[in-house]
Amino acid sequence: MVFMVLSTIYVLVFPTLAGSMTGYISVMKAFVKDRSGSIIPFENFNYVAYIIHDGQRVNLTADYIIPYADTANAKSKQDPMASSPSPDCPDPGDKICSLKNAASHYVSNYGFYGLDDVNTTWEIDGVYLEPPALNISAFYLTYYTPPSNNLSDNRLFGNGWVDPRTGQRPFNDSARLTWTANGQLFSIDDIKANGACQPMMNAYEWGFSFVQAILNAIIMTAWTIGLWLLWLAAQYKLPLQREQEVAKGWRAVSYLAETMRRQFDEAGINPQSLREKPLKQEINKYLNGGDISFIAESPEKSQLSLGHGLLLWFKQNKWWCLVFFLLLLGTGLSQRPVLYPLFATVYGMLMAMALVDGVASRILVILPFMIVSLFGLLFALLYVT
């Protein structure tokens, strides 16, 4: 009874539960305020690789900032929130990429800060430079092993460079990682101080609560099992006891005759040996005037509890249950995602066992699930492995 009330409430609130699982949420984006007060999306920020302080000597501007990647180039763009910038150049034709490599080769030959008093060449356009060397500096450069002039080698030189004046490695400290945007430099502290996540104006995305979905699935499973147990109890406890239908017509007549025969036998009356009138008297005397009750086929069955009913059900369906559990355990324990589409068949078996009796009708119920499983397996084999 409690279950029936709870079940009714569940059915009533189900649309609310399902509806509150999903909904629109506003899109959040990270923004950073720059020195002029304008707000820049953080995705437009870039890691700084090198700065050429006397850039005008090679047809660039003074204090020219060379970033790790070009934010305008979708192919080589880098996530500014990655733990460490990548020196890779996915698009070799990228202008920033060639600048970055030119600077890397230059400092690996002549060092940083323009300390070498030698004639040098800037690799882009082959610009020849009188001493001193270009004054190039950096903040943090990802780890790099041997110096190399290999042009197709995109690793950036500088992490292990030792400043001859101090004996320190100035570019090996990842805490000095610096970003650039709008021609300005931002340290990690600047980003922390001026960055914030803000909802975008009039931009919404579809939100989905997984916790609620899983909770709903659990409640639904409990509800389904509860309903099935209720059905099972009804099957075994009510007088009809798994009879296919209420007896009427010929079946009713045969039941009636059978029951009368049994009651005559129990009372020791032989109706064929008596005439109508004495028979009526006997019936009045010994059989309460002849009231007939529907006697269950096996009397012990009518006292069946739900537990006994369950046991009986499991006994009748032992092979189905065995195959079901083997398939369920086999698929679950294999831990091979490729096999997971088989769960559809397992679910189909569960449905078939609960819904119908008889091998043919059960196979009919399972068939669509098997087809789903087959397509799932085919898809998994083709695309997942």
Ligand X SMILES: *[C@@H]1O[C@H](CO)[C@@H](O)[C@H](O)[C@H]1NC(C)=O
In this chain, which of 34, 43, 94, 153 binds ligand X, going by CB under 6 A?
153
| Cβ proximity of 28 and 200 under 8 Å | yes
Cβ-proximal residues to 177 (8 Å cutoff; 6+ apart), any chain:
47, 84, 85, 139, 140, 187, 188
| Virtual torsion, Cα 275, 276, 278, 284, nearest 10 deg | 150
Cβ-proximal residues to 96 (8 Å cutoff; 6+ apart), any chain:
66, 67, 69, 70, 73, 76
Q: How far apart are CA 255 and CA 261, in angstroms?
A: 10
Give the nearest distance from C-beta 45 to ligand X in angstroms: 22
Give the nearest distance from C-beta 142 to ligand X in angstroms: 12
In this chain, which of 79, 88, 125, 205 binds ligand X, going by CB under 6 A?
125
In 3D, which of 200, 230, 335 has the Cα closest to residue 5? 230
| DSSP alpha helix (H) spans, 77-118 | 95-110
Binding mask 50-89 for ligand X (x = CB under 6 A): ---x-----x------------------------------
Q: How far apart are CA 108 and CA 148, in angstroms?
A: 7
Q: How far apart are CA 272 and CA 254, in angstroms?
A: 18
Of the two residues 119 and 209, which places its CB atom closer to ligand X in the complex? 119
Give the nearest distance from C-beta 206 to ligand X in angstroms: 43
Give the nearest distance from C-beta 90 to ligand X in angstroms: 14
In this chain, which of 20, 168, 184, 361 binds ligand X, going by CB under 6 A?
168
Give the nearest distance from C-beta 104 to ligand X in angstroms: 13
Of the two residues 48 and 352, which places its CB atom closer to ligand X in the complex? 48
Candidates 33-41, 169-177, 209-217, 277-285: pick the segment binding ligand X (CB under 6 A). Answer: 169-177
| Cβ proximity of 338 and 377 under 8 Å | yes
Candidates 28-36, 109-117, 259-267, 301-309: pick the segment binding ligand X (CB under 6 A). Answer: 109-117
In this chain, which of 172, 187, 194, 317 binds ligand X, going by CB under 6 A?
172
Chain residues that interact with ligand X, rule: CB under 6 A = 53, 59, 113-114, 117-119, 125, 131, 135, 150, 152-153, 168-169, 172-173
